[in-house]
């Protein structure tokens, strides 16, 4: 049990404050019982009690920050961490007082790189002869994206195949597609093990700017349109993630949430993925898929194994 600090007015901020000490006490008892050699934290409000309990027990702490700008939990936890693993060089300025910072990249799930295009086409009923757009807004979906996709759908389906992951409970709100274009549109509320196969058939991805999603897209070299959550609904971390990603990947376009419309969506899609003279590109995995190994090297260092670290970057052997 622990408390969560909300960035908007809520009476729960008052009651949750008193849950934090109890959460630290619970974490202390658990950690003391099995005494881990190291605690690895990815942030979030649930991590604070564990990190502080580990500090009291003198257990080494390794912290990882996925976003460009750190959240409140990681800013607090960094004061107790022995080493900070950062996904981006640009994040170092937020931890200027911390002496041990290592740029490791963002870890990705290993199975993501094992997709099979043949399975993807079979699951969707699509054809490799036409460009495929994968649209996803996170596990809960993104209603604004869904709404604009619905308005653009019949126009896009004349030239593209649309694979839409709309979010749990949102499928019934989808606007019906013209019957003669039915084979160009497939909608799923949520996917898990199928995602690598869907990645393999995607010629373009439309997505939010979550750190994990961008890491997977980068590892698979898939062109993207990124629509970050606006500052009104977040601390602005996705906006920073999106524009840094665009800076490093010129083929990527960012549409800010308050500027998103079905017209801007169609225009941007046609800029990145022109349907005329379409040629399917082969998919190769980039070096960013090594980020998981980099983090494991840091953890092994805490456990007494060798780890080559130079200039705040993990060196691969």
pLDDT 10s digits, 32-88: 998 999 999 998 888 999 999 999 999 999 999 999 999 889 999 999 999 999 999
What's the whole-number mean pLDDT along residues 250-262? 94
Identify whether 187 is part of a domain: yes
When the pLDDT of each residue in the chain is averaged and rounded to a whole number, the result is 86
The answer to whether residues 178 and 218 belong to one domain is yes
Q: What is the pLDDT of residue 266?
A: 97
Provide the pLDDT for residue 314.
Answer: 46
Residues 137 and 276 in one domain: yes
Q: Considering its fold, how many domains does the chain have in total?
A: 2
Q: Is residue 5 part of a domain?
A: no
pLDDT band of residue 316 (cuts 50, 70, 90) is very low
Claim to verify: residue 172 and residue 256 sit in the same structural domain:
yes
- What CATH number corresponds to the domain at position 191? 3.40.50.2000
173 and 278 part of one domain: yes
Sheet strands (E) in the chain: 39-41, 61-65, 83-86, 101-103, 132-136, 161-165, 185-188, 204-207, 224-226, 253-254, 309-310, 313-314
Q: Give the domain range for residue 45.
A: 12-103+289-314
- 216 and 308 share a domain? no
Cα 125 to Cα 121: distance, rounded to the nearest angstrom? 6
Pick 173 or 72 by higher pLDDT.
72
Q: What is the layout of strands, in order, in the sheet containing 185-188?
A: 185-188, 161-165, 132-136, 204-207, 224-226, 253-254
Domain match, 121 and 221 both: yes
Q: Are residues 304 and 263 in the same domain?
A: no
pTM of the model: 0.85
Q: Which residue has the higher pLDDT, 283 or 230?
A: 230
């Amino acid at each position: 049990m622990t408390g969560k600090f909300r960035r908007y007015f809520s009476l729960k901020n008052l009651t949750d404050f008193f849950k934090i000490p109890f959460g630290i006490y619970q974490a202390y008892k658990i950690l003391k019982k099995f005494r881990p050699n190291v605690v690895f934290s990815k942030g979030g409000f649930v991590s604070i009690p564990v990190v502080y309990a580990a500090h009291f027990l003198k257990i080494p702490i390794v912290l990882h920050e996925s976003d460009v700008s750190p959240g409140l939990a990681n800013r607090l936890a960094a004061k107790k961490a022995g080493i900070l693993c950062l996904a981006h060089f640009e994040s170092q300025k937020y931890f200027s007082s911390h002496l041990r910072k290592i740029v490791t990249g963002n870890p990705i799930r290993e199975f993501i790189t094992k997709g099979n295009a043949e399975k993807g086409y079979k699951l969707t009923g699509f054809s490799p002869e036409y460009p495929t757009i994968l649209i996803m807004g996170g596990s809960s979906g993104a209603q604004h994206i869904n709404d604009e996709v619905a308005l653009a759908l019949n126009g896009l389906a004349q030239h593209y195949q649309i694979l839409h992951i709309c979010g749990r409970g949102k499928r019934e709100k989808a606007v019906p597609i013209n019957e003669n274009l039915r084979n160009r549109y497939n909608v799923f509320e949520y996917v898990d093990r199928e995602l690598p196969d869907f990645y393999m058939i995607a010629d373009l991805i439309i997505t939010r700017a979550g750190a994990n999603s961008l890491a997977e897209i980068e590892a698979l070299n898939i062109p993207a349109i990124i629509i970050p959550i606006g500052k009104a609904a977040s601390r602005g971390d996705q906006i920073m993630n999106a524009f840094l990603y665009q800076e490093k990947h010129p083929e990527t376009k960012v549409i800010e949430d308050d500027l998103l419309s079905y017209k801007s969506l169609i225009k941007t899609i046609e800029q990145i993925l022109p349907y005329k003279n379409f040629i399917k590109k082969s998919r190769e995995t980039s070096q960013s898929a090594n980020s998981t190994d980099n983090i494991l090297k840091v953890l092994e260092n805490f456990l007494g194994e060798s780890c080559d670290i130079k200039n705040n970057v993990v060196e691969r052997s």
